[in-house]
Amino acid sequence: MSITFNAESGMFHLQTRNMSYIFQVLHGYPAHLYWGRQISEPNPARLLQRIERASFCPTPIPEDRTISLDTLPQEYPGYGSGDLRSPAYAVQLPNGTTVTELLYESHTIMQGKPELEGLPAVYTEQDSEAQTLIITLADKLASLTVELSYTIFEAYDAVIRSARIKNDSTGVMQLTRALTASVDLPHDRFDMLQLSGAWVRERYVHKRPLTPGLQAIESRRGSSSHMNNPFFALLSEGSTEDYGDVYGFSLVYSGSFSAGVEVDQFHTSRAFIGINPFDFSWRLEAGESFQTPEAVMVFSGSGLGTMSQTFHELYRTRLCRGAFRDAVRPILVNNWEATYFNFNADKIEAIAATASELGIEMFVLDDGWFGRRDSDNCSLGDWVVDAKKLPRGLEDLAERVRSHGLEFGLWFEPEMVSPDSDLYRANPDWCLHVPDRRRSEGRKQLILDLSRADVQNYIIEAVSAVLRSAPITYVKWDMNRNMSEIGSALLPPERQRETAHRYMIGLYHVLEQITSAFPHVLFESCSGGGGRFDPGMLYYMPQTWTSDNSDAVSRLRIQYGTSIVYPISTMGAHVSAVPNHQVGRNTPLKTRGDVAMSGNFGYELDLTVFSEAEKEEVMRQVALVKEVRELVQYGTFYRLLSPFEGNETAWMFVSKDQREALVVHVTVLSEPNPPLSRLKLKGLSSDLRYEWVGTGEVVGGDELMHAGVVKPLPHGDYFSSVFRFNAK
């Protein structure tokens, strides 16, 4: 790991173990030269080819017509002074114009990584883990300054970027575009991979070749969304899981975002990611600055799998925080699909008692415990116990659950308010709204205006009061609608388009206060399942409910797609009843367990109605999960067969010392008289011999990887197998 600057050539070289990221100050412009496999002695003259283009590409330097901002690869491009491609930023100056031109002014190289005030970010535990370069760019005529931050880690082939934009003038500037990162790559021979879908169909893998023009993903929904995840990757020609150069871009942010690639007339590619400029602006008074969220940019020279593993380890160990970052997660049962709103203390205790007999470790009480919450049409915001259902309160129920040896957890949806609630009747202006406009409801609820300090303080105190009232050690934090009528009663007209981002800053403040005050609580993020599965939320809550769809076959694609960027330790995965409540499918209990154990394992059904045979299967699953959950949570994850490419799916986990492995294989539909085939494993040691658990066989790691294992012939549809290997 090193960041070096060559004063003679103006070249910055950021090096990790396997990666180089290089740019050069050329006539004051930070010009991007290279990002890829490590180069030991780069020469900027060889890395940047310069020729004179046609007059339609303006040239800012009369004596050097080989430089046009419209063709120069740049680190943080603007618009209006010669570059006619998509800009990274845009500012309306006090005189009403929007033309700016940033030039290099100075730089600083430091050990460690500075925090981003008020925003989630990757962090260091020791300054020796990372180095940070801060480049100061300035437009002296406009009195505009931008600080570009680049951090590299000793252990990861990644560049972490952010930008801070400052108004140094005596007037007011209006920031209308503030992306986090922009990278110009020298060609367009890439496939763009994105994770897109919908509610109960999140993060499906989509891949397409780049073409001239703009190809982008975005959210305008006030959250990262079910529809598109704030991540994309560029895959070089012929790339696979194990081969090829791959560039991954991930935004540490939970609100509306924009990301994508513009391919220009010369087939170069401008990749970008950041806050969505749509319906965004930010008023910068004299002396004020704006901090963008940060982007994590990962390079892999050995395929998509290595990129994923880099994201996994970086996010698991240097994004997630708190006591549960490195602690095994409890096996839980959640009552939602067992009871929905129809429960009482006796029913909850009965489920907990059965769960205890089966070895389950935690009970989570879902929606319906507060206010008059017998359906989803009321009481959000009124975080007081429903005395009709729980006449002796949460503390009594928690103690009844704990008497069976289980921990007790609770569901909240703190960011929402029901129009039929005491909170709304007392404070009708506390929700996002626009004066005299309809207040559109989603799921019969409105969104509290978290840009307001009084609303933030209410949520902090209301949730904290509940957490102080009973021995609660787990919280599921839900958010069940997207934003509409985005406006705030407290912001002046010129700041209304700041509301959505101020909401996110307010949410992060609330999460920081609550999670810091209750470090013994395991927090899980949720937004109708995976509608806010993003790095911003993982900074505060180390796991996310992956999807409201718990069908085992659907989860093959959902969990596979999620694994492209997010660690397995961040995924909530439960066994639910059949026919499945989302898709109506009947799958074997064993298959449901085999799929769910590749995540934070639990159940979402009524255990009290299980037969003895089903209870025996649950006991087997629970015992197996307890044996392998450290491997699942901390091991290296490998994708073997993609559910997007065939009838089978397979994946595996390997311990860091390569002495233990777990393999899961699922066949969706059974076929008559199928051919025999083999499954090649990954990540093992060729020098070790492994015991195939349960068979007595001892097999060399080289054989398991190069010859593979025979796939079992399925007995019926939705057939799963689990293989375990331990080094001798």
Closest CA to 144 of 160, 127, 166: 166
Helix (H) or strand (E) holding 270: strand 269-275
Nearest in space to 445 (alpha carbons), one of 369, 382, 499, 380:
380
Cβ atoms of 696 and 570 closer than 8 Å = no
Q: Distance between CA atoms of 423 and 426, rounded to whole angstroms?
A: 5
Measuring CA to CA, which residue among 288, 284, 280 is closest to residue 258? 280
The 10 Å Cβ neighbour count of residue 208 is: 11
CA 193 centroid distance within chain: 15
Task: Express the helix, strand and coil content of the chain in percent, nearest 5 each.
Answer: 20, 35, 45
* Whether residue 579 has a cis bond before it, omega within 30° of 0: yes
Residue 37 in contact with residue 302, Cβ under 8 Å?
no
Number of Cβ atoms within 10 Å of the Cβ of 520: 12
- State the first-to-last Cα distance of the chain, in angstroms, to the nearest integer: 36
Cα 116-119-125 angle, rounded to 5 deg: 55
573, 567 in Cβ contact below 8 A? no
The helix or strand, by DSSP H or E, that contains position 556, with its residue range, turns out to be helix 552-562
Residue whose tokens read 């989509």: 206
Residue 662: name the closest of 688, 646, 683 by CA: 683
| Residue given tokens 């600083």 in the structure block | 108
> CA nearest 532: which of 523, 517, 544, 541?
544
Alpha helix (H) residue ranges in 134-249: none
Comparing CA positions, the residue from 323, 377, 284, 314 lying closest to residue 123 is 314
CA 293 to chain centre: 13
Residues with catalytic function: 478, 548
Angle subtended by helix axes 589-596 and 552-562, to nearest 10? 10
- Tokens 């010369």, residue located: 266
Compute the distance between CA of residue 205 and CA of residue 552 in angstroms, rounded to an integer: 17
| CA distance linking residue 193 with residue 303, whole number of Å | 13
Compute how many other C-beta atoms are within 10 angstroms of the C-beta atom of residue 118. Answer: 12
Residues facing residue 160 across a β-bridge: 151, 296
Q: What angle do CA 591, 594, 599 make, to 5 degrees?
A: 135
CA 473 to chain centre: 24
Task: Assess contact for 62 and 274: CB atoms under 8 A.
Answer: no
Q: Is 80 helix (H, G, I), strand (E, B) or coil?
A: coil
Residue burial 650-659, b: 16+ Cβ < 10 Å; e: rest: bbbbbbeebb
What sign for the dihedral angle of Cα 449, 450, 451, 452? positive
Report in angstroms the alpha-carbon separations of 294 from 137, 311, 316: 18, 14, 17
CA separation for the pair 54, 569 (Å, rounded): 53
Q: How large is the angle between the packed helices 453-469 and 499-517, nearest 10 degrees?
A: 30
Contact 298, 306 (CB under 8 A): no
